[in-house]
Amino acid sequence: MEEQAIASRIRQLRQQAGRTLTEVARQADLTKSALSKIETGRISPPISTLSRIARALRVRLADFFVTDGPAPALVVTRKGQGTHFTRDESRFGYAYEALAAPKRDKTAEPFLLTIRPGDPPGRFHHGGQEFLFMLSGKLEFTFADEVIVVQAGDSLYFDSIHVHRTRLLGNRPAMFLCVFMKESG
């Protein structure tokens, strides 16, 4: 799914809910201008921002990636065949590959994330929980005030409402499985 399709889907869901840009932006901790630029595809938000927008719209993050057609009971995603959306124009530049986009009513949203040399450090916070499993490369991960270096084979599980940061270490891309779990309740 292209970034423009995701942007259009956000606008469509907001309009279907009868909500204003101002109202949703405030609830998602964004400016009205930033949300407008996201909806028109002029800026590409990181997943954490998409998660906050989804919460403000009272939809699932997965609803931004849903395509038309019947909801499958099983999703098989072959290597490299997930739903790609690269954030080259975003503040972070990370490359995301949604691994189960066609599946609806998920309690978790799995992504393959790649951070390349030159991508700036990321700062995130959003509802729910998150699981990271490092596949390659090395990252400095900061959670609250704790700094942790993670590399291939390491994993993290945390409450993502807390501010967390990522910074690439070294000159090789870092690739990791990232699973976002929605807030309970």
CA of residue 41 relative to chain centroid, distance = 15
Please enumerate in sequence order all residues whose Cβ is within 8 A of that of 110, keeping only pairs 6 or more positions apart, or say none: 98, 99, 100, 177, 178, 179, 180
Band (24; pLDDT cuts 50, 70, 90): very high
Q: Which residue has the higher pLDDT, 47 or 165?
A: 165
| Residue-by-residue DSSP string for 133-178 | EEEESEEEEEETTEEEEEETT-EEEEETTS-EEEEEESSS-EEEEE
In the chain, what are the domains? 3-64 (1.10.260.40), 83-181 (2.60.120.10)
The Cα 22–Cα 48 span in angstroms is 19
Which two three-digit tokens encode residue 135?
């596949």
pLDDT of residue 131: 94
| 1 pLDDT above the threshold of 50 | no
Q: Encode 29-95 in three state secondary structure.
A: CCCHHHHHHHHCCCCCCCHHHHHHHHHHHCCCHHHHCCCCCCCCCCCCCCCCCCEEEECCCCCCCCE
DSSP 12: H
Using CB atoms within 10 Å of the CB of residue 126, give its burial: 0 to 12 exposed, 13 to 18 middle, 19+ buried: buried
Band (90; pLDDT cuts 50, 70, 90): very low
- Share the mean pLDDT of the chain: 84
Beta-carbon neighbour count of residue 14 at 10 Å?
21
Place of tokens 């000159």: 171
What confidence tens digit (pLDDT) does each residue in 55-77 have?
A: 899 887 777 876 666 777 777 77
Q: Is 105 left (phi over 0), alpha (psi -120 to 50) or beta?
A: left
DSSP 3-state assignment of 121? Answer: coil
pLDDT of residue 14: 92
